[in-house]
Chains A and B, each alone.
Chain A
């Protein structure tokens, strides 16, 4: 229990242990732990960044989706309008064509009526002259009465 050399011995042992710890133990551990701290910090920052990016990407995707939906609706509207317009045009064309065809037919009919009338008139004139010739026989001067009958036929 008395104080002796052990005191000095313990001081020396103490000095050696602290020195060894300072030289070979503390620095590598501190360094590794600092590195780990750095890595964890980096990892967390990266996670935050990734989360932000994901958020942005989501927003962008939604934006794109909305735009395409609008675009589709617009195209659909336009197409529908165009279709309606085309139907309308076709209807108009058909109507015009029909009217034109009717008009043509009508004028053709008219001209044919005129032609038939002319022919009829000529035949009637010839018949009338023949009949009158028969009735009157040679008393009639063909050349003289021809003009009169033509005029008569003209009046028909």
Chain B
């Protein structure tokens, strides 16, 4: 992206390209220059911007709530404590209404998912060109700051939840119990076991994929619209940009909430006895 003003297509593809670091067949260990090189790196490459921003937002979340954990008392809360306690109570409510088992993990899981995804999504409120421009000045070619518009990040969390579902299903029901649940649902007859297995495995594997793709789809679509809007003449951008950003207050919070609630619901199924 040096020098000349880019065409619209170049602008859009540039904004949708992650900063990928990996082993290129020709260039060795390097940052990818463009989508083709990134594709050629295959699976063994890492999106540095996605990882960096997601870890940064995650640390922000942990720092905030660690502050709450250190200062919280049974007395009267003040200022920031109040706000954080509200978020805490909110995630506690999610568990109370959607989770029937007993687990030390489920509360932290819901809180982490909700807050982390909310913070990652919130990065979308920052002007779309701000960080790419700063990165460009620093000599970094690509910079996508919203981790949740990268399917790697959303599917990563989705499969994280998936592993927890499998782990707790086996721990609570035993390997036999879990297999039986997969084999004899929904049709409880031995002749239909293969059919059941296929069906239930699809149901199981679809859970993390749907979690990840729903979040990714919403965030990616929103980002594309922001990019399109920023292609308008500079004096017209705010006309569409401001309403879209306001609308995203809803989307950002809602997607974080949906991800957390569905994870809790899936986890609840892993704790249920049949």
Contacts and interface: CB of A to CB of B under 8 A. Distances in A.
Interface of A: 1-11, 13-15, 17-18, 20-22, 24-26, 28-30, 32-33, 35-36, 38-39
Contacts of A21: 62, 65, 108-109, 111-112
A6 B150 contact: yes
Contact of B159 (A11, A22, A28): A11
Nearest to B159: A11
A141 to B, nearest CB: 144
Given A9-B51, A21-B112, 13 more contacts: A4-B43, A4-B47, A4-B152, A5-B22, A5-B45, A7-B152, A7-B156, A9-B156, A10-B147, A13-B156, A18-B160, A33-B88, A33-B89
Contacts of A20: 62
Contact of B45 (A4, A11, A15, A32): A4
B66 A3 contact: no
Contacts of A11: 156-157, 159-160, 163
B61 to A, nearest CB: 7
B109 A18 contact: yes
A33 B65 contact: no
B160 A5 contact: no
B38 interface: yes
A98 to B, nearest CB: 89
A3 B38 CA distance: 10
A3 B155 CA distance: 9
A88 to B, nearest CB: 76
SS of A interface (majority) = helix
Q: How large is the interface on B (under 10, 10 to 19, 20 to 34, 35 or more residues)?
A: 35 or more
Interface stretch (B72-80, B198-206, B228-236, B240-248): B72-80
Contacts of B151: 1, 3
Contacts of A33: 72, 74, 85, 88-89
Interface of B: 16-18, 20, 22, 35, 38-39, 41-47, 50-51, 54-55, 58, 61-62, 65-66, 68-70, 72-75, 85, 88-89, 104-105, 107-109, 111-112, 116, 147, 150-153, 155-157, 159-160, 163
A29 B163 CA distance: 27
Contact of A17 (B58, B73, B104): B58
Contacts of A6: 18, 46-47, 50-51, 150, 152-153, 156
B165 to A, nearest CB: 14
12 contacts: A4-B152, A7-B152, A14-B116, A21-B112, A24-B66, A25-B62, A25-B69, A26-B107, A29-B68, A29-B72, A32-B74, A36-B73
Nearest to A36: B74
A108 B108 CA distance: 124
Given A22-B105, A32-B73, A1 B16 contact: yes
Given A3-B151, A24-B69, A25-B65, A30 B107 contact: yes
Closest 9 CB pairs of A and B: A10-B156, A6-B152, A35-B74, A21-B108, A22-B108, A14-B160, A32-B72, A36-B74, A6-B47
A19 to B, nearest CB: 8
B18 A39 contact: no
Given A9-B51, A17-B112, A25 B66 contact: yes
Contacts of B62: 17, 20-21, 25
